[in-house]
Structures are given as C-alpha cells and as structure tokens.
Amino acid sequence: MPANHLEVSVRLKPGGVVLDLHGEINGFAQEALNAAYADAEAKDPETILLNFEEVDYIDSTGIFLITRLLAKARASKRRLLAYGLSDHYVEIFNITRLSDFVSVFPDEESALSEASVS
C-alpha cells in the first residue's frame, strides 16, 4: 500500500496551538513532527493540542516520537492534549500510559474547552 507520510500544519487558537496531523506517525514522521512542534513552541503557548483526526496509523516508533514531544512539553512546562484518536489508538494510549500524561479528548471543541481552563 502506498506510504502516507506525515504532514503537519500549525494553527493558533484561543487556549493553545493545534498541530493538525495528516498521515502516518512512524519512522518517516520524525522530521515533520519535530519541525511542527518547534513552530508551535515558538508561539510560546501554555497548551499544545495534537489533532489525530486525519491519522490512520501509529506504530511503536510513532509512540516513541510522541513520547519525545511529551518530554519536551514537560521540560518547558507546557500541557500536551490530544483529540481525534480512533478507539484502537485510545487503547494504545492507555496501554502505554501516554493517556496518564496526555489528556485525550474526542474532538477539538472539548479539547479546546479544557485548554482554556488553566
């Protein structure tokens, strides 16, 4: 099947910066993910939101990359939130305990609502 390499766009919203993720989060995603996260950090938000609505695949390397983003966010005292994960990837966030550190929401509205409470 054709590769669907990750593309990321960055949006500034009241309450935080949203990273809109499109494609697969695997070993090919590192550059795009890190560049987008750096763009988001440059805006100095309290909260960064990861939008997974257009993500169709996350592998163990993807979990590693998300863990690195989480480590960066914690180091700079930012909150990392996630929304739009499929049920399967919500389960994987639970199994890996990522959901203990990255609050998971069903959609952008509920995530932004949480982001605006600080």
Partner 1 sequence: MTAPRSGAPRTLAELSLPSEPGNERRASEEVARAVSELGLPQRTLERLKTAVAEATKNAMEHGNRYDPEVPVKIQVWLLEERLLVRIIDRGGSPPPSPNAQTPDLEAKLEGMQTQRGWGLFLIKNMVDELRVSGNPDHHTVELIIHLKGEDDAG
Instruction: Please state the closest distance from residue 16 (CB atom) to partner 1, in A.
Output: 21
Give helix 60-75 / helix 30-42 axis angle, nearest 10°.
Answer: 20
As measured in angstroms, the least distance from the Cβ of 45 to partner 1 is 20
Question: Is residue 2 exposed (0-12), middle (13-18) or buried (19+ Cβ within 10 Å)?
Answer: exposed
Site for partner 1 in 23-82 (CB under 8 A): 24, 26-28, 57, 59-60, 63-64, 67-68, 70-71, 74
Q: In what order do the strands lie in the sheet with 79-83?
A: 7-13, 16-25, 47-58, 79-83, 103-105
Structure tokens at 95: 């199994």
Identified binder of partner 1 from the candidate list 6, 29, 98, 104, rule CB under 8 A: 98
Backbone phi, then psi, for 80, in 5-degree steps? -115, 125
From 8-16, 77-85, 93-101, 107-115, give the range in contact with partner 1 by CB under 8 A. 93-101
User: Least Å distance between CB 47 and partner 1?
Assistant: 18
- Residue 21 φ/ψ, nearest 5 degrees: -100, 130
Out of 12, 38, 42, 95, the only residue in the binding site for partner 1 (CB under 8 A) is 95
Residues interacting with partner 1, by CB under 8 A? 1, 3, 24, 26-28, 57, 59-60, 63-64, 67-68, 70-71, 74, 86-88, 91-92, 95-98, 100-101
